[in-house]
Structure formats: C-alpha cells, structure tokens
Structure 1
C-alpha cells in the first residue's frame, strides 16, 4: 500500500509542479479559451492542462517500472506501455482541439482510432460473467472495448464545465477503483496490480491539477485533460475487471454490480447521466449530439442558486455516494449500506435544493398571502352585494 501511495504522491507532485509551465506554454501558442455564451468563466483562460496531467502520469508510471514490487508488471506484459502510448495520443488529440477547436466528427474519429489501437494492443474486455468474448469473436471484444473507451472519454468531457468538477469526480472514482482492485489483488499470489497502479497515478494527477484548477481556475484542463481522464479510468476498469474470471474469485469479493460494463457507469454515473441527457435533449430538438448548450447538470446547479464551489462540492458528494455506496457492500451488510445511502441521499438532496427553496419559500408565502387577501376581498364584495 505504501508503494501505491508513493506513486500517487509522485504523480500529484509532478503535475502540480509542471502545471504553471504548461499554462505559460498554452498562452504562448494561443490555447486560450474565449468566453462563450455557455461558459461560466468571465475572462479568457488558458487551456491544455491535460498536458501537465499526462506528464505527471507518465513520470509516475516510469518511476513505478523501476520499483521491484511493481516492475514485473512492465516486464511480463506490454499493457502498461500500450496504455501510456494511448494516453499520449488522446492528450495530443485534445491539445489539437484546445488550439484549433476541431470539428466534433473529426475528434470522434480520432478517439475511435486511438481506442481501437489500444484495444488491438491488448487492453481488452476478454471475458464477461456470461462467458469469454474472445472465444466468441476477437473482433467483438475489440469493438466493445473501443466503444466503452470512447463513451467514457466523452462522458468526462461533457461534465467538464466547472472548475475542479471533472478532476474531482474522476479522483473519487479512481479511489473507489483503487480500493476494489487492491482487494482483488490480495486474492492473487502477487499483490502487484496494474489496475491499482493506474488508479493511484490517476488520483494523483487529479489532485495535483485541482490545486491549480480550483475556482477561480488559473488553467483549464481542456479536452487534452478531460479526454485523458476518461481514457485512463476506463483503461483501469478494463484491466481490473475485463480479464477477471468470476469462477476464480470468492463471491464475497466479486459481485454482479461490478461487471466490466457496469463498473465504469457506477463510478462515472454523473458524467454518463449528463452525457445521456444531453444527447437525448439535443436530438429531440433536431440538433447534433455535440451541439453545445447550457443545460448540463452543473449549469442547472448554478441555475438553482449555487455558487461554483458549492455546486462542485455537492456534485462531488453525489459522485462519492454512488461510487463508495456501491463499494461499501464489500465491507458492510447490504441492509446497513441501504440505510446509510438513504440518509446520505436525503442530506445531499436537501443541500442540492436549499438555495432554490431558500428563495422560493418566501415567494410561495407571499403568493399565498396575496391569494388569501384576494379571497377575503372577493368574499367581502359578495357579502356587500347581498
């Protein structure tokens, strides 16, 4: 465990250190986001923060490759190197979008090509609780993996609308993934786990970047960051569960809720929900699924009356509830988990709706007062006519 904490600290420290350098570079090359109608920020802010996160991740992984406890993961398999190459390609695609604002179809095509490459390189969902995908069709395994990676990349990209929101949600998911993968690794002869390694490095770069990205942000992660985070957390989940044989793991550890397809959805529930709602909303209006608007979950939180920091904190709370609520069934009785989640849901619901009710309740009381006065006036007029 101490080795993983060291890797997380290295990833976070490197990201924190190089972020100001990347910010200066973004300004120099013109990767500065103009203020658009849908944006929350009021002044042009440099993007490309994902480059700093990529550097932090790669440095942490290279450092890990030299640690005896983990180095075997790099010698025995090419998965780590394929994931790092894919991370660099995803981040470069995001940099191109941060600088030149690529057409969404071109960006989607690039995401798909990179996902296919990573899947072809060995990062695949090769088994499900229903059976082996490779036995059915290697092409099917690659296709499902690529689609899952692209979907997660865009889910995180959709939710990246407030300072610290996307990085915080992914960090929460990364912690949940790391705990679960570490538990699984303890059932194997070696405690070393590629999934845990990716997760802790991911959490580290998120925390290191949040220190510069907390409202008011000095630098945005841009598509180079949001796509990188979606890519990495999905690769970690695929490495963790996509090769897991349910028959070889004790039932107290492996639960149906953690199936390879459902696990990213549970941990990234808010980004996936926001993406699905946005796609349905835009298609129903005859618009492109990538057409920008101000109807995302974080925009609605601001519309209710929350400030940026308050909205981010509450959305983090919802993400933590879903991620750790699902994970807690490994340690507590389902009945107790259900009670705890119900209480937390009530608390978060009150916190979410408080600004709205704070302003709305006086309006409701005023409306009721006016209604009663109007009713008494009508009754008085009616009695006077008699």
Structure 2
C-alpha cells in the first residue's frame, strides 16, 4: 500500500506542476477553447491539461518499475509500459484535435490505433462471467471486444467533460473505488497485490487530483480531448488487464458463486455509469433528431442539472455524489456481500435522488466546461 500511495502522490504532484507549464504552452500556440453556442464557459480557456496528466502518469509508472515491491513483478511493468505508450498516442490525437478540430473519423481512427497498441502489448479481455460459468474468449473476439471497450470508455469520459472539474473528479472517484476493489480483492483471494489494474488506477487517480486545482470552477485550463481520451483509455485498460492477472476460477471456487467474478467486469461499468449513460442518451437523442451521434448539443446530464437551477459547483458536486454512491456502493456490496452494505447503498441512493430533485427552479448557464 505504501508504494501505491507513493506513486499516486508522485502522479498528483507531477501533474499539478506540469499543468502550469502546459497552460503557458497552450496559450502560446493558440490551443484554447473558444466560446461556442453549446458551451457553458464564457471566456476562452487554454487546453493541454491532458499532456500534464500524461506526464504524471508516465513518471509515476517509471517510478513504480523501480520500487522494491512493484518492480519485482515484470508483468505489471510491461503492461504499464504498453498502456503508457497507448496513452501517448491517444493523448497526441487529442492534442491535434484540440488544435485543428479533427474530423470524427480521423479521431476515431486514432482511438482504434491506441487500442490496438494495448492489444498488441498483451493487455486484452480474457474472460467474461455468465450466470452458470465463466467463458474464455478466443483471440479474435478478445481483440474486438477490447478495442470496443477502450473506444467506448474514451468517448464516455469525453462526453462527460462539460463542466469545470467534472470529468477529472468523476474519474478520480471511480479510479479510487476501483483501486480499493482490486487491492482488497487480492487480499481476500490470496492473490499477489501487485497488479496492473491497481497501479494504473492509482496513478490515474493521482493525475486527476493533481489536475483538479487547475480545473476547478472557475477553471484556469481544460484537459481537452487529450485528457478525456487518455483517462478513458487508462480506466478501460486497468479493467481489461485485471482479467489477465486474476484467476477467474479461483474467484468462483472461494465464494461459491459468481459475485466476485462479475465485479472485475461490472465494476468499471458502474464506475463509468454516469459518463456511459450520458453517451447512450446522447446517441439515442441525436439519432431520434436525425443527426449524427458525434454532432454536439447542449442536452447532456450536466446541462440538465444547470437547467433545473443547480449552480455550476452544485451540479458538479451532485455528479460526484452519484459517481461515489454507484462506485463505492458496488465495491462495498461486492466485497462485504451483506444486508448492511445493501442498506447503506439504498440510503445513499435516496439521499442522492433527493438532493438532485431538490432544486427545480430553472436558471441560466454558468461559466465553465469544455464540451
């Protein structure tokens, strides 16, 4: 735990320090988010927060490879290197998009390329739990599903990146929850606690926390597509890597059921439940209106919260609350598997619903956000 805490801290501090430098570079090269009709920020804001986060993630993974405990496990280091290289590629795609506004097809091709690097490095989905068994995936199916998951998660985070501090906070909460799960799961099942999933979620959480002071309302800089796509890839890759480093048959045998076996697949979807829900709603909404799914609008979940009269900060905090309730609720119920954990989750869910619907007076848009 001490080494994980150290790499998380290094990731946070490095990202925080690099963010100021990246902000100056963005201003010099003109990488700024201009105010558009669908935005809620009112003044141009520089991009390149994703570049700072990539630096924090890369340096902390390099440190982990040289630590006494994490450095003793070559598979973790190899997987982390693969994910960092893919992160560099997808971050570069985001930087170019922030500068030139790439066509949707070109941006999608870059995401698939990054996902292909992950797969080529051996990080892919190996098994999926079913009601009465766990099935191993064949190589073609494994590759296809892995690429789809990475692209889906990358775009889901990009969709939710619409208010100051929203995406970084939501991903930080999800990463911490997933880290706690993977770490405690290793203890519960007597696995080696050094896993790629634990390392990547730790450094991802650190990068988000380090960037958040620069991105909190009113934001001084945005992560841009370089950051949103990077965070989605990191979360997806940590999930996928877990299926290659956790013995699925042991999960079933020790519990007598499939609850622990489901969680490595289900928990990341719960962690990204809000972004994924926003993504699906956006696709359905735009399809019904006869437009392409990538044509932006101003009807995301965070826009609806603002329209209900919630302030900018309150809307962000409500999204944090929902993310925390769903992510930590899934972790608690999955590991504790008791009535009190279910009761605590239901109480938290009720509180989140009440706070969300409490303010129903329409209000104007506040400043902030970049999508």
Shared fold per TM-score greater than 0.5: yes
1:272 aligns with 2:273: no
The residue number in structure 2 matching 1:239 is 241
* Whole-angstrom CA distance in 2 between matches of 1:228 and 1:239: 16
Paired residue for 1:161? 162
| Structure 1 residue 202 displacement after superposition | 0.6
Contact persistence 2:260–2:335 (CA under 8 A): no
* Paired residues of 2:271 and 2:327 also in contact (CA < 8 A): yes
Distance in 1, Cα, partners of 2:234 & 2:97: 19
Residue 308 in 1 paired to residue 309 in 2?
no
Match of 1:57 in 2: 57
Cα distance in 2 for residues equivalent to 1:29 and 1:256: 49
CA drift at 1:243? 4.6
Contact 1:241 1:259 in 2 (8 A): no
Q: Whole-Å Cα distance in 2 between the matches of residues 257 and 108 of structure 1?
A: 31
Indicate how the Cα distance of structure 1 residues 28 and 305 shifts in structure 2: closer, same or farther if over 3 A, else same. same
Summarize the Cα distance change of 1:346–1:286 in structure 2 as closer, same or farther, 3 Å threshold.
same
User: What does the per-residue CA deviation read over 1:102-160, in whole Å, with 9 as the maximum and x for residues that have no partner?
Assistant: 111110121112212211221101122344544xx311110000000000000000000
Distance 1:46 1:349 in 2: 35
Unaligned stretches of 5+ residues in structure 1: 360-386
**Structure 1 residues 1-386: aligned runs within 5 Å:** 1-74=1-74, 78-129=78-129, 130-134=133-137, 137-186=138-187, 187-188=189-190, 190-249=192-251, 250-251=254-255, 255=259, 258-356=262-360
Which segment drifts farther, 115-124 or 316-325?
115-124
In 1, the alpha carbon distance for the partners of 2:76 and 2:300 equals: 43
Uncovered stretches (5+) of structure 2, i.e. residues with no partner: 364-371
**Is the 8 Å Cα contact of residues 123 and 240 (structure 2) preserved in structure 1?**
yes
- TM-score scaled to structure 2, two decimals? 0.91
Matched positions, count: 357
For residues 171 and 76 of structure 1, do their structure 2 counterparts lie closer, same or farther at Cα, with a shift above 3 Å needed? closer
CA RMSD of aligned residues (A): 2.0
Change (3 A) 1:200 1:238: same
Do 2:91 and 2:227's aligned partners in 1 also have CA atoms closer than 8 Å? yes
Contact kept? 1:128, 1:259, Cα under 8 Å: no
Give the Cα–Cα distance (whole angstroms) in 2 for the partners of residues 74 and 164 of structure 1. 35
Using the TM superposition, give the Cα deviation of residue 338 of structure 1 relative to its aligned residue in structure 2, in angstroms: 2.6
TM norm structure 1: 0.88
Moved over 4 A (4+): none
Higher relative contact order (CA 8 A, sep 6+): 2
Q: Which has the larger radius of gyration?
A: 1
